[in-house]
Structure 1
């Protein structure tokens, strides 16, 4: 009876959270932390925690499909993870290898046209894991309805450092002028890339840090960040929905700030020339949400009325 009540309450709470969310973020990135601590809490070994975490990954894929998320990046294995004991590494590599083959052959992946990609220094991984990566990527390379990026041997600082060194070598060779170095030049020299910038980072396990994860694609896009306490194997749909709600709140706040700045700019320009204010206002309206555009239009009307009175 108690379990039935708990499930019913959880379902009601999820429905309430869902009603609070409008458009979902296009790209969610997750730091799957807490697998080993979950295992210790339950009297198990680390590999058991990682296996339970893999089940959560499958559930998250279902939630992304249901909620309209178009791209998911999972921080599966960092460059720092190479420092773990050999027995833990072998168990991790076993799990990563088997899951890549399993996902690559899964009906749900092909029915949903999911494209699997690995990002990171894949060449550092054992041959058997690299072969599994090639198999998964090859089996799904024609798809583009949903992107699943697996961050393997990934380190954000190393990624940016490698791109900077590549640019420096291109300048030294004379292939690139310093004046031509822009976002595109850096972007094209990163690891095999996600399709789009990150909108939301979720980290499980209680730590409030992003651990060198996707600094170019997340920080550069001012991604929202949601930290939560559950270990990755315990991560629930309600936790995921709360993360999406964090993104939505950030977006609304960001839109309000843009609207307020746009109105302030129109006022500043209107102090000197109303016609120019209308030109600037028209351009700003094209870049704002419908609510922000209405605010700018209202301000232009107020400025026009005050100009007539004057």
Structure 2
């Protein structure tokens, strides 16, 4: 009986996989965004509704990340940026923060393991944010993940952790001003006016060679950006809010987002 149950489950998975790939093939006949970002919101509320410990919600959130990465890469999305950990998240309970640090260490290396999703799709991983705020074992995991994938040149995964957009903009401004002052001293003349392009070039995501942000998706029904990619969203980015908690997100949630992007691209 157990063998029959496993066989049925395997058959259902195969059918779902074929159906998903068929939907992706149809979507790929239209324009596909180069850069999609996710605010992975709702892990804790998902856990509470399921009667789980909060950390289990975060673990299920990692499974959802892997699922969405594969969908995006199959679609042909070049760059995925995710809000993994806000600087403000350090204010949460010590138990949750410690659990998140341990989870981050394990899952970072799991993403990069031989034959894993990043190697399969040739994706390079970038830690974006003030990684010096992490404990040493997490900083080491970030550095190792970057090293293991540094030769991958087909896709990009930006993990914003620990990150806030205001910190990114502040850091970019400091870098821009310092560079302008050094240049002025070296050339013995007044500093050139600072432009938006100068600041943009010093953003953490720009240094990761990320293309312009096409779509930003926030899950869980909350309609705010929460200090994420504020500079990058000011131009032509389409912002989408969906009600699904992040651990439950699937291709069905992404289809309307992609179709809306395609509709607006065709209307230009």
**1:111 aligned residue:** 120
Cα RMSD of the aligned pairs, angstroms, is 2.6
Secondary structure of 2:84's aligned partner: strand
Q: Alpha carbons of 1:165 and 1:56: their partners in 2 closer, same or farther (altered >3 Å)?
A: same
Which is helix-richer, 1 or 2? 1
C-alpha distance in 2 between matches for 1:218 and 1:178: 29
Structure 1 residues 209 and 194: alpha-carbon distance in aligned structure 2, compared to 1, 3 A threshold: farther
Q: Find the counterpart in structure 2 of residue 84 from structure 1.
A: 92
Q: What is residue 201 of structure 2 aligned with on the other side?
A: 188
What residue in structure 2 maps to residue 53 of structure 1?
A: 61
C-alpha distance in structure 1 between counterparts of 2:92 and 2:144, whole Å:
26
Please name the residue that 1:42 is paired with: 50
Give a deviation string over 1:177-225, Cα, whole Å, max 9, x none: 5534223421332224352111000100001112221122232x32111
Shift in alpha-carbon separation, 1:62–1:166, aligned structure 2, 3 A? closer
Q: Distance in 2 between matches of 1:134 and 1:187?
A: 24
Pairing 1:167-206 to 2, within 5 Å after superposition: 167-171=176-180, 174-175=184-185, 177-191=190-204, 192-206=207-221
Aligned in 2, Cα 1:105/1:16: closer, same or farther, shift over 3 Å?
closer
Q: 1:185 to 1:37 in 2, by over 3 A?
A: same
Residue 152 of structure 1: which of 161, 171, 187 is its match?
A: 161
* In structure 1, distance between residues paired with 2:192 and 2:203: 20
User: TM-score by structure 1 length?
Assistant: 0.73
What TM-score, normalized by structure 2, do the two folds share? 0.83
Of 184, 197, 210, the residue aligned with 2:225 is 210
Give ranges in structure 1 of 5+ residues lacking alignment: 256-310
CA drift at 1:20: 9.2
